[in-house]
A = this chain, B = another copy of it.
Amino acid sequence: MRTTPATASAPDTLDIAKLARLSGVTSRTLRHYDAIGLLSPAHTGNDGRRHYGRDEVLRLQHILVLRELGTPLSEIARIVDADDPAVTIATLRDHLGALTAERDRFARLAATVASTIDSLEKGHTMSNEEMLDGFKHHKYEPEARERWGDDAVDRSNAQWKALGKEGQQRHLDSHREVVEALGAAIRVGFAPDSDEVQAIVTQHHAWLSLFWTPTAESYRGITQMYVDDERFRRNYDEVAPGAAVLLRDAADIWAERHLS
């Protein structure tokens, strides 16, 4: 929450070129993201020009982080739309595995190439077999492919896809249910340790667990963040003020009962 000095009538919105320069992508890319519904401008002037606000800048940053990781735009849309740190964490975990694998792969390739150059420059005869040595045992064998590839990396992703379209929709709806149940609990005045609220937490934890297996500590951490981070708090509090706090308090109790 930074207070921007109110310089006259500086509208605090960026046109497409400014945002492009700031973010390092081209304006074409921004138009593309608009076209596919990944990032729409805050509003469009009556002359058709796109104007972006702070939220859009943040969303773009989020998008770029994921894009850096090689995530396809379709999946990026999923993630930023879900707008939940649990989903983010799950995805990041996957990608961390992929990143270290990629790093190692490039390290091996670089080593092979370096030694290839070396032996070439010294005039050694380089058999094709030798040149291939560095490559053979890391990509063309299905065994290795599983090690660095789809298997470990995209596990939660696979789970998600296995749900199918309806399953995915049900899962998103399931979160809606949690949020609305929390709102109802607040309006009725249930306490965090009441059976009703604890049941909601059970459902919330199950929802989380599809992507990711939280520990007692990290589950507390996540729910704490729902309170701390305005972006996520909004998701809960827009149904009923205090919902995020209620979830956190209830999750504290739930975690102690079920996760430790």
Question: Is A117 a contact of B139 with CB atoms below 8 Å?
Answer: no
Interface positions, chain A 131-162, Cβ under 8 Å from B, are: 131-132, 135, 139-141
Chain B hits for A128, CB < 8 A: 58, 61-62
Best-buried of A68, A116, A123, A132 by chain B (most CB within 10 Å)? A123
Question: Is A65 a contact of B96 with CB atoms below 8 Å?
Answer: no
Cβ distance A3 to chain B, nearest Cβ, rounded Å = 16
Question: Is A123 a contact of B221 with CB atoms below 8 Å?
Answer: yes
Chain B hits for A141, CB < 8 A: 24
Is A191 an interface residue, CB under 8 A from the partner?
A: no
Q: How many residues of A contact B (CB 8 A)?
A: 52
Chain B hits for A253, CB < 8 A: none
Is A209 an interface residue, CB under 8 A from the partner?
A: no
Bound CA–CA A58/B64 (angstroms): 41
Is A168 an interface residue, CB under 8 A from the partner?
A: no
Bound CA–CA A224/B126 (angstroms): 12
Bound CA–CA A123/B135 (angstroms): 41
Chain B hits for A220, CB < 8 A: 123
Cβ distance A191 to chain B, nearest Cβ, rounded Å = 22
| Per-residue B-contact encoding for A85-109, CB less than 8 Å = 1, 0 else | 1001100110110011011001101
Question: Is A126 a contact of B89 with CB atoms below 8 Å?
Answer: no
Question: Is B125 a contact of A99 with CB atoms below 8 Å?
Answer: no
Is A210 an interface residue, CB under 8 A from the partner?
A: no
Is A36 an interface residue, CB under 8 A from the partner?
A: no
Question: Is B120 a contact of A85 with CB atoms below 8 Å?
Answer: yes
Contact of A121 among B64, B68, B120, B218 (CB under 8 A): B218
Question: Is A23 a contact of B113 with CB atoms below 8 Å?
Answer: no
Q: Which residues of A contact B (CB under 8 A)?
A: 23-24, 58, 61-62, 64-65, 68-69, 85, 88-89, 92-93, 95-96, 99-100, 102-103, 106-107, 109-110, 113-114, 116-117, 120-126, 128, 131-132, 135, 139-141, 217-218, 220-225, 228-229
Query: Would you give 20 A-B contacts (Cβ < 8 Å), ordered by A?
Result: A24-B139, A24-B140, A58-B128, A65-B132, A68-B109, A92-B116, A95-B113, A96-B114, A99-B109, A99-B113, A103-B106, A120-B221, A121-B221, A121-B222, A122-B218, A123-B220, A123-B224, A123-B228, A124-B221, A126-B225
